[in-house]
A and B are shown apart, each in its own frame.
Chain A
Amino acid sequence: MMNEMTSLPHRRLLVELLDTLQTVGYPLGPGKLMQVEELMRQLPPDTPPEALRTLLAPLFASNPEAQRQFYGLFDQCLAAAYKTLVQEEPLPTTLLATPGIEKAETRSRRSLLATLLALTLAAGAAFDGGTPVTWVLLAAVGAAALLAGWKLPLRPVSRWAYLLALPVLTLAGFGLKLWMLAMVTTPIIIDRPPRQTERIPVEQGESATRSLQIPGDTARLIAAAHCNGQNAGTTPSGGRYAIDSSGTLRYTAAAEALPGSTDTLCAEAVYASRRDTALFVIDILATDVPLPAQDKERLAEIPLPFPDSLSAISLDPEVQTRADFYRRYQWLLKALIFLLAAFAVWAFLRWNERRRAKFVAEIEQRDSPPYVWRIETGEEQRLDFEESLSLLLNRLRRREGTDVRRLDVRGTVKASARRAGRATFVFREQTRPPEYLLLIDRFDANDHRARLFDALYEELRRAEVPVERFFYQGDPRVCFNETHPDGLPLTELLHRHRDARLLLIGEGQRLLLPSSGQLAPWTGMFSGWRRRALLLPKPTREWGRREQTLAGLFAVAPASVQGFDLALEQFETLEQRSPAEAMRRVADAVAEPFEFKGSLLGSLRRHFAEPLIRWIAACAVYPALHWDLTLYLGRTLSEPEDDALLRSANLRQLARLPWFVQGTIPENARLQLIEYLAEQGLETRVRRALDELLRSAPAPAKGSVAWDDYRMNVILNELMLQPDAAKRRELEAEFERFLAAGKQPDFVSFKQLQRQPTRLDLLVPENWKKYLFRHGSSRFGLRRLALLLPVWVLLAAGIALVPVKTEVCNGELVSYQNRLLCLDDAAARLLYLDYLTRDAIDAQNHARADSLRREAGIAARAAQPAADTLPYYSNTAAWYYNYGARAYNCSRWPTAQCPALPADSLLNIACRNFRYAQDRDSLNQYMRLALFRCDKGAGPVALVPVVADAPIQKLETNMARITGGSFTMGCKDTTRDGDCDDDEKPPHEVRVRDFYISRYEVTQAQWRAVMGSDPPELHNKGCETCPVERVSWNDIQEFLKKLNTLTGKQYRLPTEAEWEYAARGGAQSRGYLYSGSNTIDEVAWYTENYAKGNTFGEQKTTRPVGGKKPNELGLYDMSGNVYEWVADCWHGNYKEAPKDGTAWLEANGGNCSGRVVRGGSWGINDNSCRVSDRNYDYADNRDYYIGFRLARY
């Protein structure tokens, strides 16, 4: 039991508690502290701090009130101690203060503002369209709105509705936007339909299988096949696939497939009821070129030279679209925005109104006591009672005799002894300190006269005079005090305090019968007190018959300290003094009655000194008179050089005014007094002091009726102190709510408040005010309507001023990836082709994809877009072309410095794979790989040119490899070579080495792909696949130069020997007269057949290449269609012709202004189509029947 009780929480709590108690005013002497110490020492150490509550209360409290108060204080301190000690431990909820109304209000106001802002921004974002910024903005806004919604003071149902409404509204907004856009123009929607896609990871050379069946539904599978109808085959990247009839797809990745690349497979399963198409995306996983991890990461980050989205380049057209939309539907938009804003304002006002209504209802419901708030500073207000008090105290302390007499044993013995043993009893009166009973007539709780005597009573208590005090209101038959708030009847008082000396303070009017002026019969009760006095506050000048009558029952004296003293004197001497004598004896009594005569201030000046008038005026500032307030103001006004105002005599003077008895100053008097105060320059000082007091005084319980009044007074007073605008608004808003709840403001302050002009007062004519302002005063808020007007005007003006661009989209409006683009016609067409191409790729229809690419390439050239934007117009042909070219010339990369590329570097692989790239993703992947390698600066190499353009690419793929050999060139005999000319002779043996030669004549498309344009005088325009003609030999040299630059290969014209060798069928020659046949119709377009079935009508012109049978080597159109330029210069015959198959140039009298053409043309007879037939043309001549084909080693 004797453990030290010094654990930290206890000590912390005790320190806190003792501090608080001292602040509150508990007497904490060393004795008390020792008691606490002793108690703490004796308590077991595990006593929880909470238990101290009931253990300490008995030590500190000394009445029920104090006991309750102590419990409250203890709980506060406990909470504080916990807070400082165990931060992480949550406090018991009961100890936490409940958040105030204001806090909740601010929060919900902020939430609402956030919501409105969010909605506005969301609306803006919805109109802005789908840039990433918009999405980020929308996301942020959505988050804010959600957060705000969560904090809004809503019921759960409403909250969920609100949260649900956000996305719904947003979606609706988007829908509205799309709908409205659709109304402007019907866009071409070129997005692909979604498809089931599965990703399959596969290692290089590894296989993977997938079932196409719906699991457990085998019976219903009818057929399964690749989308192109072939059940087995090779994908462009070299992977092999096979689909068997049971619906199993097997894929084997090519061993040299590019790691990190993707392959796509389209499979179709036909079920009894439906048909499913699945797209398998195969990810090639293994990495043959080990990439460090950081490189891998970097790989994804390498920026592509161009954004890979088409939409990125069409920003401007879109702005135009929007502008166009605005132009056409401006009024609609503005109306919508206006409505939206109006709705927001309406919603805000409604919300505000409801919130106000709620608050008002709350105020109206407040009916809990206290109903009246008495300003009690809690400070000890000591009055200066002058020296007469000490005299009084002396007299009060004199002991008095009692009825009880005790046997004085010693005296009896003495007396008996004196009288010779005869018992002589001596009794001694027992004395005791006299007790006093004060009955004070109190008109009102703020009756200053009563309070003055109450202060005297307190003073006596402090001096330990045994005095009891009761109040009564006019009629002393019922008395009350703090202990007996419900009152005690006089009989009970008599019973309890019979021995006390009674001092009745009051006018005593009710003691007399109103009719006869005689003492009322019940007053006989007072005779129960042996010693009784009546202290009359009435000015002695007015004493008369009535006082005489009262003197019959009481010792009568003026109500003052000296009067008190006089009454006591009468108790002791038991002499009854006449009222007249009492008047004479008492110097400090109020003699003159107060008279109102003339002006208020005049009357005051007649009776009071100036400092007192100032004091009275200061008291008029607050609507009610309170004793504590009066004293406080008196202290505030006491000038050091002045006599201190707080003297009982001064207060007695104040009490002469009936106001200070009744507790209120009439309103017009207050107005005059406050004006007087302002004239004296004291108003601000008084108000400031008042403000300080109101804030520091313990306020009434929140939620009680008195609190409202208190708060209103605080607000009014603060408003009068002219706070800054923000504070003022806040105060006015709060005040307005009180007014709306039907609370009565202090009229005088309110009126004064209106006296100060506000800016609105100057603007608004007087007679408008009642329409515009609530309560007719601009100070307390506009009416709702008035608030709406300027908002409306501002909104309308703002909307009208929104600048609108009015350009129109001059091209096509295209919906691409859910965005509307305004593209010019060519771009739109390219985009459309692009879409078709991708669709074809997905369908594995590479033939169609190729042709589409070709078309796109042509379209891209036709559009002649700026070089940098070329790839975007066609992501196929032009894309590859451009990328390939750039990769080749990679010093032009803005970010990469690429000296050279190794022959078998990844770039080469990448370039090769460009051709097989089936979608942007894989293309980007290759591109990145290439750039990456490029960036790494891998070693020097010969570049591998990439013919990226499909027509150009076709040139390469259409090269046939010709195995070299010997043959007899020229006219050998008529059996082999028919009707020969002289220039075909002499026949001679030539040996040619291996070489490549085009299967087809170079087409118009290919020419354009390389040269960028058609030959200027192209004869058969518009036939893409027809051989190009009207190209001079010199033109062809230009072409070759360009082509070789593009592809990195060494294309050239074939030599005459090579040409003839190839035309004859090389090693496989069957000795035909024409290339590939002896029947000319089978293999050649010539003058007899060019018009048959000619889609171009009877026009004499070329035909698409490859229209007839190829020769032994698979070469088309060697005979007919167009003459073909070869490398050689013109010689009249073969004399001394080279035998190694090289070009025979100027040697041996060659005429290089003319170059050899071979093979005949569409416009010439069969004889000229013979393989050995020769002809020539001038090198700079462009003839509509001469074309060419390519050769290289």
Chain B
Amino acid sequence: MSYYSLEKRQEYLQQQGERQPLPPFAANPRLNAPELYQPSPELADAVNVALRLGLPLLLTGEPGSGKTQLAEHLAWFFNLGETLVFNAQTTSSATDLFYQYDALGHFQHSHNSKEQLLSLEELERRFIRYKGLGEAIRSQQRRLVLIDEIDKAPRDLPNDVLDAMDKLRFYVAEVDKWHTTEPQHRPVIVLTSNSEKNLPDAFLRRVVYFHIEFPDPAKMMEIMGAKVAGLDAGQLRPVVDHFYAIRGERNLKLNKYPATAELIQWAAYLQETGFPTAKLKNPDRLSEEERRALKTSYSVLAKTREDLAALVRRVGGIMNDE
């Protein structure tokens, strides 16, 4: 069951009142399952160093190389509970790392209620929401904090992270309270960055750094084997090869080259639509229909119109509107 098809146009028109049922969505539970993540030995070493030395781990790498996934996997592996994610933004400030104070709510509350002034505990309970690092320090157990895209944050923020890590405490001015934790409850911090260039040198000196290379085809086969159900190695191989062929062709000049996530989705899509993946070995032999199906599936891989056009051209087709 799928959405609109030109051949069935008349059928749709005749049905009028009857609408098509929405095709069921079968989520791929494996797509982001942390237990299926496979770190490379080098990455595992880097993680070990970070854990041993209690330093934050800074990860760089192409999008889709599994930086965020690693954090999830670590939390799962060491049973650290839910990962505390902090998405850095250009406007993030130091306190955002620890908590959010709902000043407006507090104000409204104090304005409207005729109650007495709230006790500090009540104030904290109601209007302070601990986040990321703050929650990790407060929870008195080891937690994993993921600070995503730290290069986007203002330049003081990274240093604040390190400072907190050094002292293992933070101050909540609103309730005049220090939160602190024991050294053994030191949170595990994973930072990801798309560009290490924007980070202060002093920060870089005090983190454990690892650059995740894009997985090679063999590794990718392993990953895919774990992540995509229903395709055996023989069927998967042409898909992966095709994917690497696209990535390897630099003269395609794609704005964004597809990454692992796209590949997983693409493979899942191909599998669901029943595309004969074995034929990807030799795209020239595809039938007209299959070629069209392939072109359609490229929408998963390409993220801009130019990219899609380039991919379609690659298999000898033209965009409909060209």
User: Which A residues form the contact surface with B (CB < 8 A)?
Assistant: 27, 29, 31-32, 35, 38-39, 42-43, 51, 54-59, 61-64, 67, 402, 404, 407, 409, 412, 423, 430, 432-433, 435, 464, 466, 468, 482-483, 499
Contact = CB atoms under 8 A, between A and B. Distances in A.
Nearest to A407: B103
Interface string B87-104: 000110100000000011
Contact of B50 (A31, A58, A63): A58
B49 A55 contact: yes
Contacts of A38: 52-53
B257 to A, nearest CB: 11
Nearest to B103: A407
Contacts of A43: 52
A404 B174 CA distance: 20
B49 A63 contact: no
A55 B45 contact: yes
Interface string B190-212: 00000111101100111011110
A51 B204 contact: no
Contact of A432 (B154, B205, B211): B154
A459 to B, nearest CB: 14
Contacts of B198: 466, 468
Contacts of B111: 423
Contacts of A51: 45
A754 to B, nearest CB: 43
A63 B204 CA distance: 9
B52 A63 contact: no
A61 B209 contact: yes
Contacts of B201: 27, 464
- Sorted nearest first, the 6 A-B pairs with minimum C-beta distance are A54-B45, A58-B46, A64-B211, A62-B204, A58-B208, A54-B42
Nearest to B213: A64
A483 B195 contact: yes
**B91, B174, B206 — most chain A CB neighbours (10 Å):** B91
B248 interface: no
B185 interface: no
B93 A430 contact: yes
6 contacts: A42-B52, A55-B49, A58-B209, A67-B210, A67-B211, A407-B103
A62 B50 contact: no
Nearest to A42: B52
Given A62-B205, A62-B209, A423-B107, 17 more contacts: A27-B205, A32-B205, A35-B55, A38-B52, A38-B53, A39-B49, A51-B45, A55-B46, A56-B49, A58-B46, A62-B58, A62-B196, A63-B60, A63-B197, A402-B91, A430-B91, A464-B200
B57 interface: yes
Contacts, number: 89
Nearest to B208: A58
Contacts of B213: 64
Interface in B43-87: 45-46, 48-50, 52-53, 55, 57-58, 60
B289 to A, nearest CB: 36
A35 B53 contact: yes
A468 B195 CA distance: 11
Nearest to B46: A58
Given A61-B211, A63-B211, A54 B46 contact: yes
Contacts of B48: 55
A531 to B, nearest CB: 16
A61 B206 CA distance: 11
Contacts of B279: none
B210 A58 contact: yes
Interface in B105-132: 107, 111
Where chain A touches its partner, the secondary structure class is mixed
A31 B155 contact: no
B57 A58 contact: yes
B41 interface: yes
Nearest to B204: A62
A54 B55 CA distance: 16
Interface of B: 41-42, 45-46, 48-50, 52-53, 55, 57-58, 60, 90-91, 93, 103-104, 107, 111, 154-156, 174, 195-198, 200-201, 204-206, 208-211, 213
B79 to A, nearest CB: 20
Nearest to A413: B107
B209 A433 contact: no
Nearest to B91: A404
Contacts of B46: 54-55, 57-58
Contacts of A483: 195, 197
A493 to B, nearest CB: 12
Contacts of A482: 197
Contacts of B154: 432-433
A432 B93 CA distance: 10
A468 B57 contact: no
Contacts of A62: 58, 196, 204-205, 209
A59 B195 contact: no
A69 to B, nearest CB: 12
B188 to A, nearest CB: 14
A79 B60 CA distance: 29
Given A58-B208, A430-B93, A483-B197, A39 B42 contact: no
Given A54-B42, A54-B45, A55-B48, A409 B103 contact: yes
B190 to A, nearest CB: 12
A449 B154 CA distance: 31
Given A64-B211, A464-B200, A412 B107 contact: yes
Nearest to B59: A58
A944 to B, nearest CB: 97
A67 B50 CA distance: 16
Contacts of A409: 103, 174
A466 B57 contact: no
A372 to B, nearest CB: 19
Given A27-B205, A430-B93, A432-B154, A39 B52 contact: yes
A464 B195 CA distance: 17
Contacts of B204: 62
A468 B155 CA distance: 12
A42 B55 CA distance: 14
A1171 B55 CA distance: 142
A64 B103 contact: no
Nearest to B197: A483
A412 B195 CA distance: 39
A57 B40 CA distance: 14
Contacts of A432: 154, 156
Contacts of B156: 432-433
A58 B49 contact: yes
A29 B155 contact: no
Contacts of B211: 61, 63-64, 67
Nearest to B198: A468
Contacts of B90: 499
A43 B53 CA distance: 11
B226 to A, nearest CB: 23
B306 to A, nearest CB: 11
A380 to B, nearest CB: 14
Nearest to A35: B53
B209 A67 contact: yes
Contacts of B209: 58-59, 61-63, 67
Contact of A58 (B45, B155, B195): B45
A433 B155 contact: yes
A151 B201 CA distance: 54
Nearest to B212: A64
**B103, B206, B211 — most chain A CB neighbours (10 Å):** B211
Nearest to A56: B49
A496 to B, nearest CB: 8
B50 to A, nearest CB: 7
B236 to A, nearest CB: 28
B276 to A, nearest CB: 35
Given A59-B49, A64-B60, A407-B103, A29 B205 contact: yes
Contacts of A56: 49
A58 B42 CA distance: 9
Contacts of B45: 51, 54-55, 57-58
